[in-house]
Amino acid sequence: MAGTEPPAGLPDGFVHLPGRLDEAACRDLLDQILSAIGDQFWFQPTTPRWNRPFSVRMSNLGPLGWVSDRRGYRYQPAHPDSGKPWPPIPPVLLDLWAEHAPPALPAQACLVNLYRGSARMGLHQDRDEHDFAAPVVSVSLGDEAVFRIGGRERGDPTRSIRLKSGDVLVMGGTARLAFHGVDRIIPGSSGLVPGGGRINLTLRHVGTPGCQGGARTGS
């Protein structure tokens, strides 16, 4: 798999693909995402223990969506407030997934995070899935972000990488359960997202028995 070699000390299986999507592709993808989500599929996640709102707004695409509220972190097939099924994952994202994930492990969820202003995401692991065999594939759109990644233990050393619009990250192998987060975005570094900010798309295979994914062969 082609890509830029990560800085020394980053976990095996971490691949950074700068500018994987050009400006036109980013704009087309963003239009598809915003059209699918509209106003009705955004929600404000809260922490399970304290019921405090995240600094980001969220939505999902695909058969399953990741949510967080008083009931905990989980995947479910419908919006937590309206009960409506999540919109489908756009084909361009399914093609991107097919480039990096085994054919037998389809993308079942695409988490959509909207960062504005001082929004950030603390160090965490993506471990709410039932199956860790597939990588996590992430796409950045809009303002630049300072992304931080460490190891499998919270106290492991971390490195920071500047992510720009159109960059793709693949976290497989050892990196699949690496702690990572977004320290901050750089407001005004891109004019792509209406109203400013950054949208991050995270494709995941959840592994829930009986759930049908939507991955297809890349063209």
pLDDT at 212: 40
User: Domains in the chain, ordered, with CATH?
Assistant: 14-204 (2.60.120.590)
What does the alpha-carbon distance between residue 69 and residue 81 come to, in Å, rounded to a whole number?
A: 11
Residue 123 to residue 127: CA distance in whole angstroms:
13
What are the tokens at 96? 């991107």
Q: Structure pTM?
A: 0.91
Q: pLDDT per residue over 42-59, tens digit each? A: 999 999 999 999 999 999
* pLDDT for position 214: 39
Our CA dihedral for 148, 151, 157, 162, rounded to 10 degrees, sits at -20
Burial of 46 per CB tally in 10 Å (0-12, 13-18, 19+): middle
Tens place of pLDDT for every residue, the chain, 219 residues? 444 454 566 899 999 999 999 999 999 999 999 999 999 999 999 999 999 999 999 999 999 999 999 999 999 999 999 999 999 999 999 999 999 999 999 999 999 999 999 999 999 999 999 999 999 999 999 999 999 999 999 999 999 999 999 999 999 999 999 999 999 999 999 999 999 999 999 999 999 654 444 333 232
Number of other residues whose CB lies within 10 A of the CB of residue 188: 10
